[in-house]
Structure 1
Amino acid sequence: MSGNNSSRWSNETDLIPVSLPGSVLICTIVSSSLSIFGAVLIFVTYCIVTVAKNQTRRLLVYLTIADLLTAVGNLMGAVRYTLRDESEYINKRDQMAVNCTNTDQICVIQSSITTFSSLASFFWTNIIMVHILMTLISQREWSRFFIKVLYHLVSWGVPLVITFLAASMQALGEDFSISSGPWCWIKGCLKPGEVIFWMTFTGKGWEILTYFLTMTFYILMKFYMIKKKMRFKDRSQNHLREEDELYIMIFFVIVILRVVGTARYFMAVTKAIDDNLLHSFGQTDMVLLHIQSVGDSAQAFCNCILFCVRDTDVRRELWKRICACRLSPDERRPLVTEVNSEVN
């Protein structure tokens, strides 16, 4: 995959600008930083809030670990891009057009991190939707030991294998912002067909599959909820937990945040198929690049909003814990007792 075959894309200076606008870097850095903050807040909240320790919320924490790695990787890529020497960058681009084996090891490491974490995020998103669906159907926590082990084997193991294959085939590296932001992914010096294949295999194919699967799970859950509500007029007999209804919103989160990146992927596919369209998407692609630079790094921050703000039980207990920290030991004791009694 990484011979001396130069890519048409690596020689298109109009399509691949030497310098990305500073606004793209700012979008990535701000979005990634917010997600890192949001992920840390989720972890802290999960540790100190007793009511947060159920299986649905625990799965969201695992999803957040993956999204945190993505945010860290994208931030790492943006900082690397900001600190690069522009003349050296141009030389590397020209060298890679001749010899595709030349690449930046930091770029490869960052690409490996974000490839693995993005894939893990897709798998954990699907697993959360499956878990909620089965919990709603069975009306009890669907958390057998075997199921838990299977969750981790699939969500961490499959992305690890895919990332290892891509890295061993030397497909990961500097992509010159083809279907990504100011971070690295698939080497842009490969042949267009090879670039599209690795984009699909290491991310976009699984991302599109996640859209359809989560949409299917969402429709099934809403149908089930409507059916139960029609059967039980009294909501107290319904047994549908509010947190389950809340966390099916991750379907909308992943679609809204990543659909622009998917659109840029299809634009890249179109460019690879038709030479005449190579320059047709320049302005549109740059607008979409700004949006993608925010969306691809923002999922951990959106998880934080769901977990710490929109989840009423978690928000209420977290606020009481925060208030208790401001009080003296004598004043704090009754409030902590009240929180623990509510949980029990």
Structure 2
Amino acid sequence: MAVGDETEVYVYEQVVILISCALSFFGSILIICTYVVWTDLRTKPRKLLTYLSVADLLSAISYSYGVWRVFESNSWDCILQGAISTFANTSSFFWTVAIAIYLYIFIVSSNQRLADSLVLWFHIISWGIPLGITVAAVCLQKIGYDASEVSVGWCWVSIQAPDHVLWMLLTGKIWEFLAYLTLPILYVLIKKHIHRAHAALSEYRPILASSAVSQSRSSMADRKMTLIPVIFIALRIWSTLRFLLMLLDSPARQSPLLVTLHGIGNTFQGAANCIMFVLFTKPVRARLAAAVCCCCYRATHRGSDASIQDPGSSNGPLRREDVSHRVWGED
């Protein structure tokens, strides 16, 4: 790369990507907190999602520091940030695929024992391989300033390394390509299995008033199976496109729009998972709404101790029973 040919990161790009990092940070925290607080929601897939959220949380923190700093040399914090983001980003790929493999074995093969027995291997692979690759890259001095060739201000593989393309593949891109292939295949197979099972059961299922609710839940689960690989590819494709353009030495890799999309895609995964598995998951969403309503009730109650509320007033604070009825829909 010629001197002075670095990709410029504009202030508005920094602002947008920092917002994306913040959303991903809080989204990952929310996923982790909901798993810790509500013990009855601790299913095995949600536990795996929590591990994925830890990786996404580390990614959001490290990327936000890199975008804020916009490194210009191989400083010590550049190498540290590059090492953390390399480990967290690669681990995120592995955990995303691990969840898909678990769901495939659990749903399609109907073998929960086998699926649960793989969790230990998921830990060894999803933490161990990224850690080994990162340690090797740091020891061989491959992590460093990359002139935002395939980043947005943060550090990754040093662009001055003669074998930087190989290390870009090892520290992320090859696992990203494998995820592109694996996720759609696994989730398509899961969807087909669910459709076949649903069709078989529908022949014997009587028409009940609750069938609409059951169908709504099935439809939501089906949409999630479609959205998981679609959202992953939609977020990550911009990074892949810039990598390919770098290999072709195309100036299009420096396009501000492409750079911004790349920055959002690499940093928004935690927020996307929160939207799908917290905000779009009715039991979790309902409990969050109930918690917020209870907090608002307590704040209102403390602020109105000196006043008398009309029990029949529609503007009065919600009772706990009202919250349960309106949020949970219980009779």
Q: TM-score, normalised by structure 2?
A: 0.81
Larger mean CA deviation between 111-120 and 134-143 belongs to 134-143
Percent of matched pairs sharing the same residue: 28
Q: Name the structure 2 match of 1:157.
A: 128
Instruction: Name the CA shift for 1:314/1:235 in 2 (closer, same or farther; >3 Å).
Output: farther
Q: Of 156, 180, 185, which residue of structure 2 is paired with 1:185?
A: 156
- Residue 200 of structure 1 deviates from its aligned partner by 0.6
Q: Does 1:270 align with 2:259?
A: no
Q: Of 173, 176, 193, which residue of structure 2 is paired with 1:224?
A: 193
Q: Which letter maps to 2:69?
A: R
Instruction: Name the CA shift for 1:250/1:144 in 2 (closer, same or farther; >3 Å).
Output: closer
Distance 2:297 2:83 in 1: 46
- Residue 36 of structure 1 deviates from its aligned partner by 0.9
Larger mean CA deviation between 306-315 and 167-176 belongs to 306-315
RMSD: 3.1
Q: Name the structure 2 match of 1:54.
A: 43
Q: Name the structure 1 match of 2:93.
A: 122
Instruction: Name the CA shift for 1:66/1:231 in 2 (closer, same or farther; >3 Å).
Output: same
Cα distance per residue 1:5-63 (max 9 Å; x no partner): xxxx1x242x314x421122112211111111111222222223344311111111111
Paired residues in the alignment total 302
Distance 1:132 1:50 in 2: 21
- Residue 308 of structure 1 deviates from its aligned partner by 1.7
Q: Does 1:201 align with 2:170?
A: yes
Q: Which letter maps to 2:158?
A: K
Structure 1's unaligned 5+ residue stretches are: 1-8, 93-102, 272-276
Instruction: Name the CA shift for 1:334/1:181 in 2 (closer, same or farther; >3 Å).
Output: same
Q: Is the 8 A contact 2:187 2:229 kept in 1?
A: yes
Instruction: Name the CA shift for 1:53/1:113 in 2 (closer, same or farther; >3 Å).
Output: same
Cα distance per residue 1:264-298 (max 9 Å; x no partner): 01111112xxxxx5xx4265x33211111111100
Q: Is the 8 A contact 1:49 1:317 kept in 2?
A: no
Distance 1:153 1:255 in 2: 25
- Residue 178 of structure 1 deviates from its aligned partner by 1.0
Instruction: Name the CA shift for 1:125/1:246 in 2 (closer, same or farther; >3 Å).
Output: farther
Cα distance per residue 1:88-125 (max 9 Å; x no partner): x4xx5xxxxxxxxxx21100000001100111100110
- Residue 145 of structure 1 deviates from its aligned partner by 5.5
Structure 2's unaligned 5+ residue stretches are: 302-317
- Residue 320 of structure 1 deviates from its aligned partner by 2.3
Distance 1:134 1:266 in 2: 34
Q: Does 1:286 align with 2:256?
A: yes
Q: Does 1:307 align with 2:277?
A: yes
Q: Is the 8 A contact 2:58 2:85 kept in 1?
A: yes
Distance 1:173 1:185 in 2: 6
Q: Name the structure 1 match of 2:19.
A: 30
Distance 1:339 1:281 in 2: 49
- Residue 307 of structure 1 deviates from its aligned partner by 1.9
Q: Is the 8 A contact 1:49 1:318 kept in 2?
A: no
Distance 2:325 2:191 in 1: 38
Distance 2:101 2:148 in 1: 34
Find the residue that maps to 2:121 and give its secondary structure: helix
Q: Does 1:261 align with 2:261?
A: no
Q: Does 1:212 align with 2:202?
A: no
Find the residue that maps to 2:25 and give its secondary structure: helix
Instruction: Name the CA shift for 1:38/1:78 in 2 (closer, same or farther; >3 Å).
Output: same
Q: Which letter maps to 2:169?
A: T
Distance 2:286 2:90 in 1: 33
Distance 1:247 1:221 in 2: 11
Q: Which letter maps to 2:244?
A: F
- Residue 138 of structure 1 deviates from its aligned partner by 4.4
Instruction: Name the CA shift for 1:162/1:235 in 2 (closer, same or farther; >3 Å).
Output: farther
Q: Name the structure 2 match of 1:175.
A: 146
Q: TM-score, normalised by structure 1?
A: 0.78
Q: Name the structure 2 match of 1:100.
A: none
Instruction: Name the CA shift for 1:182/1:170 in 2 (closer, same or farther; >3 Å).
Output: same
Q: Name the structure 1 match of 2:68.
A: 79
Q: Which letter maps to 1:259?
A: I
- Residue 225 of structure 1 deviates from its aligned partner by 1.9
Cα distance per residue 1:130-160 (max 9 Å; x no partner): 1111121244755765322111111111111
Distance 1:187 1:235 in 2: 62
Distance 2:20 2:119 in 1: 31
Larger mean CA deviation between 144-153 and 328-337 belongs to 328-337
Give the structure, 1 or 2, with the largest relative contact order (CA under 8 Å, sep 6 or more).
1
